[in-house]
Amino acid sequence: MKDGQQVDVTEQPAVEPSPPSRCAAQISASPTSLSLYAGEGEQDGAEQDREASPPRPTTHDPGPRIDVVTLFPEMFEPLRQSIIGRAVEQGQLVIRYVNPRDFTSDRHRTVDDYPYGGGPGMVMKPEPLFLAVESVADPESSVILMSPAGRVFNQQIAAELATRPHLILICGHYEGVDERVREHLLTDEISIGDYVLTGGELAAMVIVDAVARLLPGVLGHAESAGDESHSHGLLEYPQYTRPPEFRGWPVPERLLSGHHAEIARWRRRQALEVTAARRPDLMTPALLAELADDGTKKKKRRARTRPPEAAAPDSVEAAASESTPDV
Ligand code: 4FV
């Protein structure tokens, strides 16, 4: 097989997937040109010969380079907007799109075929996916398939992926991908939830968004990734902003007190109560104990642990009164 020369390979599979006599694929030795969905900034409409070295992260490591393997790069328009779009423009994040269809060389640019053994729908062929991934992969790449059979995505996994040097997110379509992709190409498989999508693109966008906002500098201080839901294993406490009263509904006094320790205590307790009410599955024994302790125990504990002589004058009475359980 001479290099680059089109070779027609008609495979006669053992059990013809119906309809019969469909030539399986033509694989050219090396992909000649790759049409990239005009990635962020420098790639607009430009055909880019991928052999040229992919843009390397700038001095400070802005976190993972992300390559999305997808038949529909245009679906990722939303990632060109808002916070993620700005992050890419500012070079805090590199997102590129690789289309498996660019790794086919048959006239029909075939990326899917009938399932062996029959059955509904089509299956994504292994060759275009392997070639697409191999065109951007390096030894440190995490090759992740979006699929309902993957580990269910959560904030911890987002934080984990944010530390990786290179993510390759494969977006399946149709009934899924040929099993040899799972067996010989993937390093990981992630699901965004127990439901079935038409394609992995929306799942990949969810993951890119959740990972990108954890990268240095992506969220301005106004959008801090501070103590938000799931960041401390708890759902977020209620948030309020002006006006202090809306349609007769006041903002909780505590928040207007300016007493930061008080406000922090109130928020912690709110987060505990909201989580216990809405996501009891997130309540660890420690969180349940903290929820049960309405602060009196903590005071008792503090009183118990404070050596008597150190007792501040005012608390002596307090200690006294405390020791007498209020009947
Ligand atoms: C999915 C999910 C998902 C399955 C068949 C694409 C579809 C089609 N991906 N989390 N849930 N993928 O439903 O990540 O190929």
Provide long-range contacts, Cβ within 8 A and 24+ apart, for 51-55.
54/94, 54/96, 54/136, 55/94
Longest dimension (CA), the chain: 94
Residue nearest to atom 15 of ligand 1 (CA): 173
Q: Does residue 60 have a pLDDT over 60? A: no
Query: What are the pLDDT digits (tens) for 269-323?
Result: 999 999 999 999 999 999 999 999 866 655 566 666 666 665 555 554 555 554 4
Asked if residue 320 has its Cβ within 6 Å of ligand 1, the reply is: no
Question: Tokens 């001479």 belong to which residue?
Answer: 2
Asked if residue 199 has its Cβ within 6 Å of ligand 1, the reply is: yes
State which of 196, 205, 207 you would mutate to test the pocket of ligand 1, scoring each by most atoms of that ligand within 8 A of its C-beta: 196
| Residue 166 dihedral angles phi and psi, to the nearest 5° | -150, 125
Query: What are the pLDDT digits (tens) for 130-155?
Result: 999 999 999 999 999 999 999 999 99
Q: How far apart are CA 62 and CA 218, in angstroms?
A: 9
pTM here is: 0.73
- Cα-Cα-Cα-Cα torsion 194, 200, 205, 208, nearest 10 degrees, comes to 90
How far does the centroid of ligand 1 lie from the alpha carbon of residue 204, in Å? 10
Q: How far apart are CA 43 and CA 41, in angstroms?
A: 6
Q: Does residue 30 have a pLDDT over 60? A: no
pLDDT of 296 reads: 63
